[in-house]
Each structure stands twice: as C-alpha cells, then as structure tokens.
Structure 1
Amino acid sequence: MPCFRCGARQTDPARGASPWRRGVLADRQVLVCPRCQAEHDWAADLDRCAACSSIALVCRLGEVECRDCGHTREAVRDEEGPADDRDLVRSGAPPGDSGLSEEVAAALSRVLRRGPVGT
C-alpha cells in the first residue's frame, strides 16, 4: 500500500518498528511515509475518533476502531467510494495491476539466484 499523500511504496524495514504510520481517511486504511510525516501536517488530514478525537484509528472488517479508547463504528463506503476518496493517491496502474507482481518477480529472481545454503 503506498503513502496516501505522495504515493511512495513501503519497503521492507530494517530491524525494529516501521517508521511508517497508519491512519484512516474517508473510512479507508492509509499509510503515511516518513517523508510526508516530516514535511506535512499529515495528522490533520486523517479521520478522528468520535469519542476521544484520537487519530489512532484502524479500519478492518468493515469497522473503524480507535486504538486509544476502543470505540468502534461501522465503516461507511459508497459503491464508488466517498467523495474524499478523490484525494487519495492512485498508482496510475490499470485496475487490478498495482505493479506489485513485477516487484515480487524481481525479488524472487534475486533470492532464487543464490546458491544452496552453506555453499
């Protein structure tokens, strides 16, 4: 999933916690890259909890849950997506083709070119 502001793709993190942040925008889970966190007031763009105003929301299985207070609500989505959906960054790829398959193929070819373990 790319950064919702700039479209940068998340890469495998070094050891430890990921510097990327999760949030919910227009009842959709989004990620924010470290650069956008530093350059923009990214938290102002995200949805807030109706109970405690926290931005620590996660969207899963049709519900939005606040990780701070535990308040949950049903995620509301139109068939075509909410009006705010137009602000989300799109990859520019045709529907169903996110470019991920090419990235996976390249990673597999790098890994499979290595010799057997211990040689």
Structure 2
Amino acid sequence: MPATSLDQVVSLCKRRGFIFPGSDIYGGLANTWDYGPLGVELKNKVKKHWWTTFVRKRIDMVGLDSAILMNRRVWEASGHVGSFNDPLVDCKDCNERFRGDKLLEEKLGVEAAA
C-alpha cells in the first residue's frame, strides 16, 4: 500500500466537508482553515475525550479556558518572553518539522540541555 501524503489527506478532508480554506469565499487567507460540519463534530469529540481524560478524571487538575491573546505581563511572568526557545529542524526529504531536542534524544540518545 503506497504512503499517503499530507496533500492527499487535506484533499480528502476538503472533499468530504471536514475543512475548508479559511475565508475562502473572500479570497482566502493562507494557512488558515475553517471547520465544516463534519470537522466541527470530529473536533468536538476529540476535545471532549481529551478534557475527560486529562482534566475530569484527574483530581490534581482543574480546567481553564483562557484567551491566547493576553497582556504582555502574563507572558513575561510565565517565562515565555525571556527564555522560551524551541529550535526546530526542517527535513528537506519528507517536508516534516521536528524539535531539535527530540531529534537528539531519539536518534543519538543524547539528552538536550533545558
């Protein structure tokens, strides 16, 4: 069985009504997607399962649904502004993107410094 490419998966999802290019009827917006009827149902089921598994079934967790657009001081206090760095490596052969620290650990058995 031949390997399925990401383009084939996206094409199938578009044909079946799971996703549509974002703002498509107004000229589109690159790299954005809107969920169609089936996509909304699938997304909601995945989200519900994740929430049940990682929040509701655990006594040491509570749920929070906050905006990603926040006052800069929130990001500074969390350390994201001053110290966040996640180097990525792009593979030219498979067109995939990998975290550099994970590649070092998986391929070389070397633990990357935090």
Give the structure-1-normalised TM-score. Answer: 0.23
Q: More helix per residue: 1 or 2?
A: 2
Q: More strand per residue: 1 or 2?
A: 1
| RCO higher in structure (CA 8 A, sep ≥6) | 1
Structure exhibiting the larger radius of gyration computed from Cα positions? 2
Give the structure-2-normalised TM-score. Answer: 0.23
